[in-house]
Amino acid sequence: MLMLRSLFASRSIVALVAYFVILTAVIATGATLLVADMHQQAIQDVERSIVGLSKVLADQADRSLQAMEMVQEAIIQDLHEAHVETPADYAVVVARHDLHTSLRARIAALPQVNAITIVDGDGKLLNFSRYWPIPDVNIADRDYFRALAADRKLQRFISEPVQNRGNGAWTIYVARKVTAADGRFLGLVLGAVELGYFEYLYQQITPSDDAVVSVFRNDGMLLVRHPTRADVVGKIFPTTGAALIANTDPMGGFLRNVSPIDGKERLIATRALVRYPMILSISRTTEASLAPFRRQAVVLATGAALLIGCLGTLLLLVLRRARAERRVARAEERARGEQKLRAQYERFGIALDNMAQGLCLFDGDGRLVVMNERFADLYAVPLHLQQAGTTSDELRQLILARRGGPAEEWDMVIPPPTADGSPQTATVVRLADEREINVLRVCVPGGGWICTHEDVSALRRSEKRVRFLARHDALTRLPNRVQFEEVVAREIALCAKTGAQLALLCLDLDGFKQVNDLFGHPTGDRILQEVAARLRGLLDGRCVAARLGGDEFAVLAAGLDDVRTPATAAQSIVDALGASYLDGGRLIDIGCSIGIATFPGDAAAYEQLLSASDMALVQAKAAGKGNYCFFDPSMDVAARERHQLALDLRAAIGTEQLELHYQPQFALLSNEVSGFEALLRWTHPTRGPISPAEFIPLAEETGLILPLGEWVLRESCHEAASWARPLDIAVNLSIAQFQQSGLCDTVRSVLRETGLKPNRLELEVTETLFLKSSARSLDALHDLKGLGVRISMDDFGTGYSSLATLQTFAFDKIKIDRSFVAQIGLTSKGSAIVRAIISLGESLGVTVLAEGIETEEQLTFLREHGCAEIQGYLSGRPMPIVAYRLLILPTEDLRVA
């Protein structure tokens, strides 16, 4: 009997040992496969993250440089249109102060652009957007200048990073060649991009502390790096990841490489810029990227080791029990072994429960072996289903109740993988509470499988936001210009097939600048968001609204018919956006003007539609606020004519086409001339005389009013200084002249140059100046008055706040607008207004001058009511000063005559 028992015990021990070996192999294999897959998944996650970000940042860098090149292209185009053929002509055209002002304005909205510089064929700076006067600098030693000057075919060059000679900042230059029609090299237009702009941008968006964002030239030269290392910028690194990837795939890729810059092994993703010979690189250190995986692997390996240890301990206890001679000793040994096993199992449970993923291990019969706490929390698994032995079908039914997507997608979440045993990753599934779960199932050798469930909601939200911002406006969340162009192009293609009509509406908010000036930009941002909300509320079907920039919006109106026409769509937008806006307890009123272009009637492509609707918008704004206007082919013709007229006006400056006419002003009490007003006249060589009402607004729109205004000021002061009698000279100032910081210096220089006494110069301004730029205007007016010149308010009574303006600044003279003078003797209200203004001027001690005197009745009325001065056709029309020679002679000469 004893031998039988011994034989039976021996067979049991052998079976137990064999079972232990098999189970140990299963656990070790499962843990190894899981760790290997976790490692691969970690690499893939990092790859997806940095590859996607590299594409977005490469596109952003490409567009930033392209925006600057558009400015350069516009400058070169202007030079070609001006028919610049010789270096002398080139120097004259580009060295003007108004071009300097234009350069500053063009790059004001481009934070990436440090400066636009124009140099001649010898490398000398002729114009510079940052400074005026232009510093004496020569860049003939720069690599980009030598390259473009030497190579006749080379038109563009991107420089090595250099330290800016102006401020010491690391800068790259995009140089564009300027040539004459015969190919002669005239000079360069340089666009300077401070590398600090990209470093600051990448500092805001780097996904982690170990990440490095770099920009290389195609030859391996490092241009930008964040985090910044000044000692490596401008050096060529042929063994960087970017260079190695470029050798195999010029468009970009992903690899693992040791960086020659910091000596660390990194995971690197690159993307070539589409339009420029540069490569954007994003990398993360392998150590930091795989740190979460290593922690998880250690936890899993520790758990597997603890499990195997527990099984080995149990086997040891059984063997000891078999060798024991006494029942009590076996019982005590077993009790001690079980207590130790429980302790080890608790440690293993802690390791499993601290994994980032939820984990379930099933045996070959589909029954649960182990479930960690993360998995139970993920699906709120009841306690009785967390126990070993629970079937996979029971857990599947529980998880299906939590799903947020179709059942078919969830069918493969818990069941085992296919029979080939290869790991399978299910499509990321969404729970009913919007969480997104990434599921991985791995077969275990010997039967059974392991499945891990990981909550990737935060990662998916981050990726979704990056994708959203690439195609939407961040403030209003409307489609941006890129997405809108794609939508319009798609709709045009569809309408071309179906023969349907669509309309493109360009919107511009009326009075929005005053909202920013009066209430601040945060209020303006809230108004823009409310405008976007109202546009969304109006649109349906295939209609799309987009924000193109600033207060400019666009709407695509598709699906039109006899009822839903472009006109009805425009009117509904005007009505919706014209309603008052409530912000912080105050009502704000703005409106909108709309330009409309239709397909296929007005244009056949997006760019032409946008241009046509923009021209129609200009016409709508000219007609007044709250209007819409359809594009008409004559607008294109008018726009071209207006552009040509602007070119002709630019060419007329400094020629005999422009001359000054003078209209006398008389003191009513003495009936003697008190001064003249200088008025600009233009005689076009082919069109003849052009009205100031036509070319003055054009000059203000194009910026030509600055050189024109300075020329009028200098010529009129020079003329007045030559008069024998010390008569006053009145000169009109434009709002644009007040927006330049050197207006006071210009007036001081002209007075010093001409020798005219300051008290003889009278500068005329309108009330619109105070409405559009009050703070700067007041400062400039006080500075001018400090020179001793006199300031008069022109067209008094026609502005928005005449009395408030008089209270704000102490004017020397107010001029009654001709519209009121024309009503004298015709309406009682007109006469009453003129009397009130005369009385107001007398009370304030301000001289009052009435404009537009054309009848004796008007003159008699003004004399009876004490008006100080008059000006009009009755007393003298605007004419060359030679026509008024007798008025400027000394009084003694007049008596002799």
Largest Cα–Cα distance of the chain, in whole Å? 165
- Contact between 505 and 539 under an 8 Å Cβ cutoff? The reply is no
- State whether residue 846 is helix, strand or coil: coil
Which pLDDT score is estimated for 774? Answer: 54
Helix (H) or strand (E) holding 832: helix 828-844
- State whether residue 430 is helix, strand or coil: strand
Contacts of 170 (CB under 8 A, 6+ apart): 161, 162, 163, 164, 194, 195, 196, 230, 233, 234
Helix (H) or strand (E) holding 22: helix 2-81
Which pLDDT score is estimated for 4? Answer: 47
Q: What is the residue-wise DSSP string for 662-718?
A: EEEEEETTTTEEEEEEEEEEEEETTTEEE-HHHHHHHHHHHTTHHHHHHHHHHHHHH
Which pLDDT score is estimated for 801? Answer: 45
Which pLDDT score is estimated for 60? Answer: 78
- Contact between 614 and 557 under an 8 Å Cβ cutoff? The reply is no
What single DSSP character describes residue 824?
T
**Cα–Cα distance between 65 and 620 in angstroms, integer?**
34
Of the candidates 175, 205, 206, the one whose C-alpha atom is nearest the C-alpha of residue 193 is 175
Helix (H) or strand (E) holding 764: strand 761-765
Q: Where are the alpha helices (DSSP H) in 579-687?
A: 606-622, 633-652
- Residue given tokens 């099984």 in the structure block: 311
**Cα–Cα distance between 493 and 778 in angstroms, integer?**
54
Write down how long the chain is. 897
- Contact between 185 and 121 under an 8 Å Cβ cutoff? The reply is yes
Q: CA of 793: how far to CAs of 700, 717, 738, 765, 849, in Å?
A: 19, 20, 15, 5, 10
| SS percent in the chain: helix, strand, coil, step 5 | 50, 25, 30
**Cα–Cα distance between 479 and 462 in angstroms, integer?**
19
- Residue given tokens 């405008």 in the structure block: 531
- Contact between 79 and 93 under an 8 Å Cβ cutoff? The reply is yes
Q: CA of 461: how far to CAs of 54, 455, 457, 464, in Å?
A: 18, 12, 6, 5
- Phi then psi for residue 83, to 5 deg, are 55, 50
**Peptide linkage before 878 cis (omega within 30 of 0):** no
Q: Which tens digit of pLDDT belongs to each residue from 85-95?
A: 888 888 888 88
CB atoms within 10 A of CB 763: 23
Which pLDDT score is estimated for 644? Answer: 77
Question: The tokens of 473 are what?
Answer: 């406006």
Q: Read off the pTM.
A: 0.42
**Cα–Cα distance between 801 and 807 in angstroms, integer?**
10
Q: CA of 63: how far to CAs of 59, 83, 482, 536, 605, in Å?
A: 6, 30, 11, 28, 22
pLDDT along the chain (897 residues), means of 10: 52 77 86 85 83 82 80 83 83 84 81 85 86 85 85 83 69 87 86 80 76 85 82 82 81 85 85 84 85 84 86 81 70 65 63 77 85 84 86 81 63 68 60 77 81 81 78 88 89 86 90 81 90 87 85 87 82 88 86 90 85 85 84 71 78 87 94 93 90 84 86 94 94 84 89 94 82 67 90 75 67 89 85 88 90 92 92 93 88 42
- Contact between 833 and 850 under an 8 Å Cβ cutoff? The reply is no
Rg of the chain on CA atoms, in Å: 41
**Half-sphere exposure of residue 407: CA atoms within 13 angstroms, side-chain side:** 5
- Contact between 629 and 614 under an 8 Å Cβ cutoff? The reply is no
First-to-last C-alpha distance (Å) of the chain: 163
**Half-sphere exposure of residue 47: CA atoms within 13 angstroms, side-chain side:** 11
